[in-house]
Amino acid sequence: MPTRLLIALFLTLAAASGADTSHPGSTIYKSQCASCHGNLGEGVPGKFDEPLTGDRSLEALTKKIERTMPEEDPGSCVGEDAKQVAAYIYNAFYSPAAQARLNPITIDLTRLTISQYRTSVADLIGHFRNGSDKDWGKERGLQFFYRSPEILKPEERAKLKSNADPRKKTVKVDGRIDTLDLHLGPDSPVKDKLDPDEFELRFEGSLITPETGTYEFIVRSENGFRLSVNDREKPLIDAWVSSGETVREERASLYLIGGRAYYLAIDHFKFREKSASLQLLWKPPHGVEEIIPKRHLSPERMPKVMIVSTPFPADDRSLGYERGSSISKEWDQAATQAAITVAEHVDANLDELTRTKPDAPDRPAKLQTFAETFTEMAFRRPLDDAQKQFIASQFKTAPNPELAVKRVVLFTLKSPHFLYPGLLDSDKPDDYTVASRLALALWDSIPDKRLLQAARENRLHEKADVLRAAQRLVTDPRSRAKVDGFFHHWLELDHAEDASKDPKAFPGFDQSSLADLRTSLRLFIEDTVWSETSDYRQLLQADYLYLNSRLAKIYGKDVQTPDFQRVAFDPKQRAGVVTHPYLLASFAYTRTTSPIHRGVFLTRNIVGLSLKSPPMAVAFEESHFKPGLTMREKVTELTRDGNCMSCHSLINPLGFSLENFDAIGRWRTKDQNKPVNATSDFPINEDKKIRLTGPRDIVNHVVQAPDGHRAFIRQLFHHTVKQPTAAYGQNTLNDLQKTFAQTEFHIQKLLTEIATLTALHQIPSPAKPSPKK
């Protein structure tokens, strides 16, 4: 009996590992392959140390073996042998399914990423502020309010003493203004209506931030001025008292979360100075100093946003996307410092946040309710009895209720229930779990009132309900900020942030051109993703660029206004993000193109094929080549080696097909005075090659190839959920690809599908009623 049990156990183990030793291919593998690839394809240091895994089909794998293996004697393992060994390898460890069986992919517990922490805190505090969920509308520009004493006739003016001013009547003019770039000279802002010698101007509204980071604000004027950003009480810049006739420049910086709107006001006044002017500029992250453009100003006045500006150590990106998979002392210290900052903010704004007054008799009760709601919101679910008791005990033991609030805030933000949203899952997942996952996936934040309400009413566990909730979330600006982050990641924009070009080779192309290109790309993406059709294919196939007058000059078009507008190109010359000059410039050297950088980016992120890391490091050095070679000739020479070509047979054709674009992404027909050759054959699999003559051929292939769709979906999934797709089942990616194709490649629908699918993961349906409060 025990023996039989042992045998049964052994068989089970063997089946589980997939290494079917009785398979005929197994013998061949052991004798011919294992010495370099290891017993289970794990690799052998010094020989072939990369694991033998991949996404080729069994047929493709067989052909590859026939053609290339074993390395020392290619062609000696063919026909039935190759078939057998390929079948063995494929099922034992090569295929994704085999890998999933050998190394089951699970959902890891992760903490909030830095971005999730900041957004969650902003919304947590915002929950208690009036109007935090209000929209900043479609109108752009700022409101203005001008006033001055009535204008005097010359003879009346002559009677005025230098100091005493008997005028009582004030004249007011209101309206809208696009940007703040006023140069009035000695004149009145409203001729014949306002006194040119003495007036006060106020501009008010909100600032819409494109991305997260430090914004520098610059105000220039010879008059008195005061600038407030995100804080009505305390000006960011106070230069109310002027100093002579010279134009002063004041600067101040502020850390802001992207994709939100922040209250902004600027006051200006002139009193008998010879002239008046006012300029409001900014230097956004990765941008250059410029007058704040109209599209980043809204006349709506937004409430204050609590911003955690504490620097955190960068999140883990070893899997290609940011996730909170590790902690360190530095991280814990940053989280502690951030918690203190938030506690101080709450303390300083307590009356506003709790809607009470210092002498109100119900103040202690209101503060305790606030503390409970705060913790509930942060934990994303109703408090259990122990948690309620803890809060009550703080109010009993602290010397005063204000201090109790502070302690509860510190406790809450240091608590694992706030920092690890996934902890919910280890308990019984319920409708609150769904709410928490949706908010995290689509907003990087905590659930809002409506989501919590739906969870409370048990309306968040049927797919239709959850999908509807996700659709609402996707229309919120927070989703836009999150999607913005995805594009940053998919298009590897951090590459572009370090780009610079040789001013001798490209006169007139400088940091402000790069900043303009960044804006141009952002406008294109936003326009595409947030349109009715939200079509992924448009991202690749669009034949236009957004250009302003500066960029138009560089790219040979005619635009008169400084505002960005759509400019059509020859469809051969432009194809969506693939030919956006910002990317073409970022995947290029300072003077020359780089087909390898472009090709690697296209292979992995656009065409969606995996590449192993290069077997040896080869530097690209101009001096190694004969003068006069084209870039294509140089790269061809450099990667001639057979080892190189296993990947460069993919990389090079893709890179070469963009050779008609120089290092700043302008169309060219010559390289080194020779005609550019952009034509090559690209092997889409072992059997089939397609001819590429330029970017249009690439994108036309990609929009109908599941590999490219999957690359897009996988990265969007990673960015949204912060977990691998396979953790939600082997077929997740393929299923999503099918849905994507069925919905005409609708990006917003894909996003809601990802959020819904992951939110409902392992949620019993119908869910057990969540515990009543």
Partner 1 sequence: MNFPRRQFLRDLGLSAATLPFLSGLPSLTGAPTPQRRQRLIIMFSPNGTLPQDFWPDQEGENFELKPILKPLEPFKKRTLILNGIYNRVRGDGDNHMRGMSCLLTGTELLPGNIRGGGGNPAGWAGGISIDQEIKNFLQSQPNTKTRFGSLEFGVAVPNRADPWTRMSYAGANQPVAPIDDPHQMLSKLYGRMKDKDSLVSILDDVQADLKRVTSKLSARDKSLLDQHMALVRDLENDLKEADKQSSLPHRIPDIDPSLELVNDNTPEISRIQIDLLVNALANDMARVGTLQYMRSVGMAQMRWLGVEEGHHSLSHDPDTNQDSYAKLLKINQWFAGEFAYLAKRLSETPELTGDDSMLDNTLIVWTNELGKGNSHTLDNIPCVMIGGEKTFGYKMGRSIRLEQQPHNRLLLSYAQSFGHSGLKTFGEPTLCTEGPLILT
Binding residues for partner 1, per CB under 8 A? 106, 108-109, 111, 162-163, 223-224, 238, 240-245, 269-273, 310-311, 313, 325-330, 332-334, 336-337, 340, 343-344, 358-359, 363, 390, 399-400, 402-403, 406-407, 410-411, 414-417, 419-420, 423, 426-427
**Shortest Cβ distance from residue 496 to partner 1 (Å)?**
27
Inter-axis angle of helices 642-656 and 631-638, nearest 10: 160
**Shortest Cβ distance from residue 397 to partner 1 (Å)?**
8
Name the residue nearer to partner 1 (CB basis): 228 or 310: 310
Name the residue nearer to partner 1 (CB basis): 412 or 579: 412
Tokens of 433: 């779990």
How many angstroms separate the CA atoms of 475 and 406, rounded? 34
**Shortest Cβ distance from residue 439 to partner 1 (Å)?**
20
**Shortest Cβ distance from residue 254 to partner 1 (Å)?**
18
How many angstroms separate the CA atoms of 662 and 668, rounded? 6
Contact 692, 682 (CB under 8 A): yes
Name the residue nearer to partner 1 (CB basis): 46 or 244: 244
How many angstroms separate the CA atoms of 203 and 268, rounded? 9
Provide the 10 A C-beta neighbour count for residue 202.
17
**Shortest Cβ distance from residue 342 to partner 1 (Å)?**
11
Instruction: Kindly list the distances between the CA atom of residue 560 and the CA atoms of 10, 347, 550, 587, in Å, as whole numbers in the listed order.
Output: 77, 52, 9, 29
Name the residue nearer to partner 1 (CB basis): 95 or 110: 110
How many angstroms separate the CA atoms of 679 and 683, rounded? 13
Name the residue nearer to partner 1 (CB basis): 400 or 742: 400
How many angstroms separate the CA atoms of 38 and 723, rounded? 29
Name the residue nearer to partner 1 (CB basis): 138 or 168: 168
Name the residue nearer to partner 1 (CB basis): 242 or 732: 242
**Shortest Cβ distance from residue 583 to partner 1 (Å)?**
33
**Shortest Cβ distance from residue 556 to partner 1 (Å)?**
47
Quickly list DSSP for 303-352: PP--------PPPB-TTSS-BB----HHHHHHHHHHHHHHHHHHHHTHHH
Name the residue nearer to partner 1 (CB basis): 366 or 689: 366
**Shortest Cβ distance from residue 291 to partner 1 (Å)?**
23
How many angstroms separate the CA atoms of 266 and 229, rounded? 9
**Shortest Cβ distance from residue 309 to partner 1 (Å)?**
11
Provide the 10 A C-beta neighbour count for residue 258.
22
- In the three-class reduction of DSSP (H, G, I as helix; E, B as strand; rest coil), residue 645 is classed as helix
How many angstroms separate the CA atoms of 517 and 578, rounded? 14
Contact 177, 144 (CB under 8 A): yes
Name the residue nearer to partner 1 (CB basis): 410 or 467: 410
How many angstroms separate the CA atoms of 241 and 250, rounded? 12
**Shortest Cβ distance from residue 165 to partner 1 (Å)?**
8
Name the residue nearer to partner 1 (CB basis): 111 or 696: 111
How many angstroms separate the CA atoms of 89 and 98, rounded? 9
Contact 481, 123 (CB under 8 A): no
Quickly list DSSP for 212-261: SEEEEEEEEESSEEEEEES-SSS-SEEE-S--SSSPEEEEEEEEE-TT-E
Provide the 10 A C-beta neighbour count for residue 570.
9
Tokens of 272: 């008998």
Name the residue nearer to partner 1 (CB basis): 197 or 662: 197
**Shortest Cβ distance from residue 766 to partner 1 (Å)?**
24
